[in-house]
Structure 1
Amino acid sequence: MEVFKHVRNLINKGLLIALLAVFMITTITPQFVHAEESLTIMAEAAILVDAESGKILYEKNAEKPLGVASMTKMMTEYLLFEAIKEGKVTWDQEYQVTDYTYRISQDMRLSNVPFREDGSYTIKEMYEAMAIFSANAATIGIAETIAGTESKFVQLMNEKAKEMGLAETTFVNSTGLSNSSLMGMHPEGTKETAENIMPARSVAKLTKILLDDYPEVLETTKIPLKMFREGTSDETRMENWNSMLPGLIYEYEGVDGLKTGSTDFAGYSFAGTAKRDDTRFIAVVMGAVDSEGAGSYKARFDATRVLFDYGFDEFTNEELIPAGYQFKEQGTLEVDKGVEEKVAIAVKEPVTMMIRTAEKELYQPELVLDDSVVEKGKLEAEVEEGLVVGSIQLTKTEGSEYGYLSGNENKLEVATTESVERAGWVSLSLRSAGGFLSSLWDDAGTFVKELF
């Protein structure tokens, strides 16, 4: 009996120890939760992008076409910068007010600087009014200057959208206003009920292209306050609608652009950008609402703040693979008809990527050879040093990965580290003869073995 009692006590102790171990594991072991899964973005759609590479760090309904409102004006800005670069328009060029722009400018329900019926204004004045104060009549005036009519300008907008690869994008006017707000003067060929439509991903892509091609746009979009026609009887106070700029009510460190948007159809939206040190992010929120489900100016900035905080707090640009890195499983390639039978291959440039710091070890490199260069695993001499033979594909072993705005990740090239000259015909003949004799010897050896 004592033996059985002792055994039972040991079993009970073992069970207790096991239970304690399970308890300690579940309470002490860190519970890893991917940060993007815990983000609460109060908007119909949202996206966060590394402005340098175009890598998407977070997205929500980013491919859903939605009303874009005045974020439309980023395309008008792009076409203006392009026209100035090509010499078609100048900053000091005068625009003569039309009946269309005069009537729109007098509607104080819309964002506007009032035009005089017989007035003329420089392109620079109208551009500043558009970029800072989202002035709609000024935007139409720019469109008319570039294309003759807003209708023709809309054609240019849609052609440029296609050229940029902006998916699911349709422009029906230059401003982003609902066509129904244009007093029956909406662009020819469009319906009065029509709206400008873009998904958040396309808005982010347009933002990046604008920043890449014409970064000087930020010199204007970062201005918190400017007086239109200062010192004249037409003086109008233009406070930037981007309230996240330094000194404004919802200021956020590093914000210097770019474009807000709001209509009854689109709700409250914002394409913002912020830079700290060498890191710049692009954040887009569309249809932002507060905790009660109501849209508001503040809601779009609250949602943007969450995205920017996530970017600056969680992400850094990390070197994942150094220059000269060689794959252990394949550090060389065979060379056909060369003085050397093999050539070393390695990563040309260091591979850096905007990632969550804690996830650096989750990215595993894989060599992808270029079949048009490497045939059946071999190169044919003569081989030049620096010949690109393939690329690296980085795979994340766990967690979300959203890809790039361009649709493809940046090319991470793998190349030869030395040159290999083509062997002369004598060397090739001897090598061929040697191979033939070696084959005969192997066949003879096999035959002898089979005899025994």
Structure 2
Amino acid sequence: MKKKSMKQSLSVVMLSLLAMSSVQQTAHGKTKPDIHADAAILVEADTGKIVYSEHEDEMLGIASMTKMMTEYLVLEAIEEGKINWEQKYKVSEKVYQLANAPGLSNVPLRAGEEYTVRELYDAMVIKSGNGAAIALSEVVAGSEGEFVKKMNRKAEELGFEHYQFVNASGLSNYDMLGMFPEGTKVTDENMVSAEDMATLAYYLIHDFPEVLETSSLSSKVFRPGTNEELVMKNTNGLLKGKSYYYQGADGLKTGTTPFAGSTFTGTAMRDGVRYISVILDAKDDDGEPSSRERFLQTKELLDYGFNEFKTVKYGLESLDKNNHKLPVPDGVKQEISLKVDKPLSIRLGKQEAASVKTNLKMDPDKVDEEGSLKAPIEKGEKIGELVIDIPVAEEYIFDKKETSYKLDVYAAETVEKASWFVRSARGIQDFFENIF
């Protein structure tokens, strides 16, 4: 596995307190999902934390989930101003033949006809139109062969480790009527690991959240009011009105070929929490590829994330014992109130939460030799960090991820430094109190 342990080991300066919240089990508990697929993964969409995984590093067929990379490159080209939604594309002979080939998922495109980038994009995302995907590759790169080079470069840029993109649509090259991209072979297949597919989904959602506006549509009419009018039905069975409806589901892409089996990259959001799941080659009880099972198993993964974990908020509540205050011995006022911008929310299981510790790590420039805050202190001045230490190893879909479990702590008020006379008087008072 490429991911590094995110176990945090941070020095404690003051106040080590056990976290008070108790939540649900981790991925190796009794409620671990029972998934029948060649590979699977469940990831927190906000953090990239891996919640569940099996054979996640195996490079396997992804079929039409390939279109997620095509979506990314199209949206990136639009963002960079290289193409635009209303730009017209005139259907090439290759696209015409593949968009009208029997047995392939398509929105039929007419020879010599012009279609906007938006029309092609909708056809690709909603109906999984193969011809539309190839057309978009020609819009972005001039040819599908050049587009495939972009796909593989982008995969490397995003940190993929197990991948091979050979066309823009996800078709098996041998199904492309001999018109597979230059630089690839007829026997080549699009192959990516479950972990790298989850990484692609993460970046697709984070970099271009508008992708969900289209992927969440159960259906849409192609070219309404024309003789090409067609109701495009989304292949995602978890969407509203579909057979396997799942509350909060709004993406992302299915895939099916004899080589890849039944695959699915799903995502859903509930109560502000989003998960990403990937199922590669879902199997039924007899071990046969199953379109139905990819949705059922995705639901099981998502249920695991939403039900077995809870959001725990960490903030100054950890310092309630001190009423959110710290002593300032040399200040006019001898204590100071603290504040944070907002609590830090972390999804945790029971075993994790029970072992979490919160530590107030002070800025060494703000304390004296005894570790006490030094005056003067200005309101809003950062005085340290609240560190949430989770001694359970965590894995992410990134090789390098900065620890996010730190919360800046600020002074909520100004405390001026007491005069020499006042500080001396306090010292004398402390001396006699210690004697008696």
- Shorter-chain TM-score category? 0.7 to 0.9
Q: Which of 203, 214, 235 matches 1:209?
A: 203
Q: Percent identity?
A: 41
1:364 aligns with 2:357: yes
Residue pairs, 1:317-336, within 5 angstroms: 317-319=311-313, 321-323=314-316
1:155 maps to 2:155: no
Is 1:294 aligned to residue 319 of structure 2?
no
Match of 1:228 among 204, 222, 231: 222
Aligned pair in 2 of structure 1 residues 228, 360: CA closer, same or farther (>3 Å)? same
* Alignment map for 1:298-317 (pairs within 5 Å): 298-317=292-311
Partner Cα separation in structure 1 for residue 237 and residue 193 of structure 2: 23
> Are 2:32 and 2:304, in contact at CA under 8 Å, matched by a contact in 1?
no
**What's the counterpart of residue 136 of structure 1?**
130
Report whether the alignment pairs 1:57 with 2:51.
yes
Give the drift of 1:324: 7.8
Q: How does 1:9-408 map to 2 (within 5 A)?
A: 34-35=28-29, 38-319=32-313, 321-323=314-316, 350-356=343-349, 359-365=352-358, 386=381, 392=387, 394-396=389-391, 401-403=394-396, 405=398, 407-408=401-402
Q: Which letter does structure 2 place at the counterpart of 1:275?
A: M
The equivalent residue for 1:10 is: none
Letter in 1 for 2:132: A
CA contact (8 A) 1:111 1:136 kept: yes
Paired amino acid for 2:237: S
SS of the aligned residue for 1:154 comes to helix
Check 1:198–1:386 CA distance in 2 against 1; reply closer, same or farther (3 A cut): farther
Name 2:430's counterpart in structure 1. none
**Deviation (angstroms), 1:208:** 1.7
Q: CA RMSD in A?
A: 4.0
**SS state of the match for residue 39, structure 1?**
coil
2:356 partner amino acid? Y
Quick one: which amino acid aligns to residue 221 of structure 1? S
* Partners of 1:370 and 1:292 in 2: CA distance: 61
Q: In the TM superposition, what whole-angstrom CA distance separates every residue of 1:176-195 from its partner, at most 9, and x where no partner exists?
A: 22222222222211222222
User: How far 1:236 sits from its partner (Å)?
Assistant: 3.2
Alpha carbons 1:325, 1:346 under 8 Å: kept: no
Say if 2:339 and 2:412, in contact at 8 Å, map to a contact too: no
1:144 counterpart SS class: helix
- Measured in 2, the distance between the counterparts of 1:360 and 1:418 equals 29
What does the per-residue CA deviation read over 1:163-220, in whole Å, with 9 as the maximum and x for residues that have no partner? Answer: 2222322222111222222222222112222222221111112112111122221221
Which structure would you say has the larger RCO, counting Cα contacts within 8 Å and 6 or more residues apart? 2
Corresponding residue SS for 2:126: helix
Q: Distance in 1 between matches of 2:250 and 2:26?
A: 34
Q: How many residues align?
A: 394
The AA in structure 1 aligned to 2:143 is T
Larger Rg: 1
For residues 382 and 151 of structure 1, what CA distance do their matches in structure 2 show? Answer: 65
Contact between 2:344 and 2:407, CA under 8 Å: does it hold in 1?
no
Deviating more after overlay: 407-416 vs 262-271: 407-416
How far is the alpha carbon of 1:414 from its aligned partner?
A: 5.1
Amino acid at match of 1:356: G
Q: Are the aligned partners of 1:97 and 1:115 in contact in 2 as well (CA < 8 Å)?
A: yes
Listed one character per residue, the Cα deviations across residues 7-52 of structure 1 (whole Å, up to 9, x for unaligned) are xxxxxxxxxxxxxxxxxxxxxxxx9995466320111111112222
- How many angstroms apart in 2 are the aligned matches of 1:37 and 1:368? 36
1:170 and 1:326, CA in 2 relative to 1: closer, same or farther beyond 3 A? farther
The CA distance in 2 between the partners of 1:377 and 1:274, in whole Å, is 50
CA shift, 1:416, in A, is 7.0
TM-score normalised to structure 2 length: 0.76
Measured at CA, do residues 201 and 81 of structure 1 come closer, stay the same or move farther in structure 2, by a change above 3 Å? Answer: same
Q: Provide the residue aligned with 1:433 in structure 2.
A: none
Partner Cα separation in structure 1 for residue 135 and residue 228 of structure 2: 17
CA 1:323/1:205 → structure 2, altered by over 3 Å: closer, same or farther?
farther
Post-superposition offset of 1:323: 3.6
Say whether the 8 Å CA contact 1:254–1:274 is kept in structure 2: yes
What amino acid sits opposite 1:362 in the alignment?
S
- Give how far 1:137 is off: 0.6
- Whether contact under 8 Å (1:259, 1:272) holds in the other structure is yes
Shift of 1:366: 6.1
Secondary structure of the structure 2 residue equivalent to 1:249: coil
Choose 204-213 or 408-417, whichever is displaced more: 408-417
Cα distance in 1, alignment partners of residues 27 and 50 from structure 2: 19
CA distance in 1, matches of 2:247, 2:362: 44
State the Cα distance separating 1:367 from its structure 2 match: 7.3
Whole-angstrom distance in 2 between the partners of 1:282 and 1:377: 48
Task: Name the CA distance, whole Å, in 2 between partners of 1:62 and 1:382.
Answer: 54
Secondary structure (helix, strand or coil) at the match of 1:41 reads coil
TM-score by length of 1: 0.73
C-alpha distance in 2 between matches for 1:167 and 1:383: 49
Distance 1:151 1:144 in 2: 9
1:301: Cα distance to partner? 0.4
